[in-house]
Structure 1
Amino acid sequence: MTMVNRPFRPIRARGAAVATLTAAALLVSLTGCGGDPAGDAAAGGRAAPRPSPEPSPAWRTDPASVAALGDSITVGFDACSVLADCPAVSWATGTDPQVDSVARRLVKDPATHSWNFAKTGALIRDLPAQVDLAVRQRPELVTVLVGANDACRPDAGSMTTEAAFRADFEASLRKLRHALPKTQVYVAAIPDLMRLWSQGRQNPLGKEVWKLGICGSMLRDPDDLSKAADARRQSVRDRVVAYNKALETVCERDALCRFDRSVFDFRFTGAELSAWDWFHPGREGQRELARMAFQEITRKGA
């Protein structure tokens, strides 16, 4: 048998080659199929682009249409005559030049581009139904002023709970946002009902009207200054504060929602109250509400 001479290959060299290949495979498996992005970039390659976060939608200070939601305040109840609505003086969509409503200040043609879906006596639980009406018009701005009736019950014990109030407002805003993702929402705070009581009780005629059943939880026995009566009124005020906190907290989670606390802080006097019931805003009160709303709606910045 003939012997063939083959070149000598050390076993150590072959082992080193196998180890090198194994290490390279492990590196690829750890860095992914695309390799090291930093190394690729240094070698002249391009790293995979990272997605940029979507910018928050910007608040527009010149919406072209307005829909108003809420209760008796927004339909001008008792502002023109006793126990009657007067939408012409509404702070949100009224046509009265003395009030100079939000719609008059912002909208080119309020007659065709503003709508008032507020209802006297409405509670927060009625807001989702008003939202349904508003979305049909596709407004660029929705105003909300609701909640006074949830505190103004026949007695303090029947006020809407804070949890129920928050849930109904969340449902309303969620429904609106689902239908109109770009519509802006201005939410006015509920006025300080105790302030309205302290001013209105100075008028004998107003107190006679209160006996018809307006806001019994706050206005019943207006001249009773006993500890029990004071505690009852304070409980109503505390509930209004809680409602406003719920409105603010929910609104803060929506980039196109603005809550306006100035309505609660405003120190209404007899000059701004209805001459018919000394509790609801009269023309002057409606004008002040319009002024505060316009100021917040047109405020620039976050």
Structure 2
Amino acid sequence: MVRGIALVLAAAALCAPGTAAAAADPVPPVMAALGDSISAGFNACGWYVVCTSRSWSAGDSAEVGSHYLRLTAISPAVKGHNFNFAVPGSTSAGLAAQAARAVAARAAYVTILIGAQDACVATEAGMTPVATYRANLDRAFATLATAGVRVFAASIPDLRRLWRIGKDNIVARSFWTIGHICPTMLAGAASKAKKDQARRARVRERVQDYNEQMAAACAAYGPSCRYDGGAIFSYPFTLDHISKWDFFHPNTAGQRALAGATFGRGFPWEQDTLTRAPLVVAP
């Protein structure tokens, strides 16, 4: 009940009369990606490497069709003004520092996707408390507010779905075990024991709690923030979207799916019909 009320209030705040929900926004001259390994494009193009060019947010690869490229297609003036401050392995505790870097770089628009690493720890007890997660978000949003930065806030992917689509794949299970990848959710992936099922359910609930707090923090930021409405959390991704280097991070197809699922849920950017270039996303 609390979760439902929170999401309804967040949505109402974004759509209430007097906000900029229906008005077009000027295309930002500079943008930046904030978050963790997902936004950094980790493992999207090679063995355990950062591949920012394939980031769903600030990447410049036509194979992905990122927010940056979509903005450039609307206003070519954005070209070359993309930064990626996302840090692989980062938790919400590191978000404020990334926000400060974005402000220093004069980014007028940022995307935020953070929280998977707050849940993907060795034990449930080690997961970031929900109140701490929210406090970390608030510090980052406060930093961005000093420069009037527009924010696109993304939901965390459904980690239990990752377990579900990979649990019967022996290669995926091997990577998860050997690499100690997201033990709270993926340890003992083949187990059907009630205690393991309950553990996975609790971790999923924690991710949902984080997503509620992101929605609420975005609503509190005001009309200069857009939340994805749970688009990433509810996206029906498959193993075809997951890197075969670790069976955890999005590959190129996964990054492309993230970009496509989120951009339309953001700001109604002004269309420059004189200079707009067609966006071509490689198949």
Q: TM-score, normalised by structure 2?
A: 0.82
Note the 1:1-302 alignment, pairs <5 A.
56=19, 60=25, 62-107=27-72, 108=76, 112-178=80-146, 180-181=147-148, 183-211=149-177, 212-253=179-220, 254-260=222-228, 261-299=230-268
Q: Secondary structure at the match of 1:112?
A: coil
RMSD: 1.8
Residues 1-41 of structure 1, C-alpha deviations (whole Å, 9 max, x = no match)? xxxxxxxxxxxxxxxxxxxxxxxxxxxxxxxxxxxxxxxxx
Change (3 A) 1:202 1:95: farther
Residues 146-169 of structure 1, C-alpha deviations (whole Å, 9 max, x = no match)? 000000011111100000001110
Q: Which amino acid aligns with 1:88?
A: S
The answer for the alignment partner of 2:273 in structure 1 is none
Q: Which amino acid aligns with 2:65?
A: D
Change (3 A) 1:196 1:61: farther
Q: 1:109 offset after TM fit, Å?
A: 5.9
Q: Which runs of 5+ in 2 are unaligned?
A: 1-17, 270-283
Residues 20-71 of structure 1, C-alpha deviations (whole Å, 9 max, x = no match)? xxxxxxxxxxxxxxxxxxxxxxxxxxxxxxxxxxx65556163332110000
Residues 171-214 of structure 1, C-alpha deviations (whole Å, 9 max, x = no match)? 11011102x12x21000000100001111223222222112111
- Is contact 1:59–1:256 with CA below 8 Å preserved after alignment? no
Residues 77-111 of structure 1, C-alpha deviations (whole Å, 9 max, x = no match)? 12222322211111011121111111111032666
Name the CA distance, whole Å, in 2 between partners of 1:210 and 1:79.
Answer: 17
May I ask how many residue pairs the two structures share in their alignment? 245
Larger Cα-atom Rg: 1
Name the CA distance, whole Å, in 2 between partners of 1:246 and 1:59.
Answer: 26
Q: Secondary structure at the match of 2:49?
A: coil
Name the CA distance, whole Å, in 2 between partners of 1:125 and 1:98.
Answer: 31
With 194-203 and 284-293 compared, the bigger mean Cα shift is at 194-203
Q: Secondary structure at the match of 1:265?
A: coil
Identity among equivalent positions (%) equals: 37
Q: Secondary structure at the match of 2:153?
A: strand
Q: Which amino acid aligns with 2:219?
A: E
Name the CA distance, whole Å, in 1 between partners of 2:41 and 2:214.
Answer: 22
Residues 89-145 of structure 1, C-alpha deviations (whole Å, 9 max, x = no match)? 110111211111111110326663100000100000100000111101111211000
Name the CA distance, whole Å, in 1 between partners of 2:38 and 2:151.
Answer: 18
- Is contact 1:123–1:149 with CA below 8 Å preserved after alignment? yes
With 58-67 and 218-227 compared, the bigger mean Cα shift is at 58-67
Q: Which runs of 5+ in 1 are unaligned?
A: 1-54
